[in-house]
Amino acid sequence: MIATRDLIRDERPDEIGVSVAYPLPGTLFYERVRAQLGRKRNWKDTGDLAMLFQGTFNTELYRHVRDIMHREVESGFFDGSAWEELEQRVHLHRSPEPIELAVGT
């Protein structure tokens, strides 16, 4: 998330779109989280930035990140205090048992 924030700050786009990862059938990602998926299986079926599986963080954290990023892009102001506050509360948003998604396997 921090790398994405820094990229946005460096490139200064006029607009951004923020989303969470949605598992697509036929992918390794989907196979790894399939057991956690309920009736809602993609972005069309969910609420705004809703997690479909237990990732590292809960939905609320991703919504906070989205809001901060959008405010920064719209205002052109880098809000370090918002990121610091989020960092201090990040432990409150950790999933109790996140699914392990090893990169590169």
pLDDT in tens, 24-46: 889 998 888 888 887 766 656 56
pLDDT tens-digit profile, the chain (105 residues):
899 999 999 999 999 988 888 888 899 988 888 888 877 666 565 667 777 888 889 889 999 999 999 999 999 999 999 999 999 999 999 988 777 766 654
**Global pTM value:** 0.80
| Residue 62 and residue 90 in contact, taking contact as beta carbons nearer than 8 Å | no
Give dist(CA 88, CA 35) in Å, integer.
32
pLDDT of residue 45: 58
Phi, psi of 78 (to 5 degrees): -85, 115
Domains in the chain: boundaries: 2-93
| Residue 86 and residue 64 in contact, taking contact as beta carbons nearer than 8 Å | yes
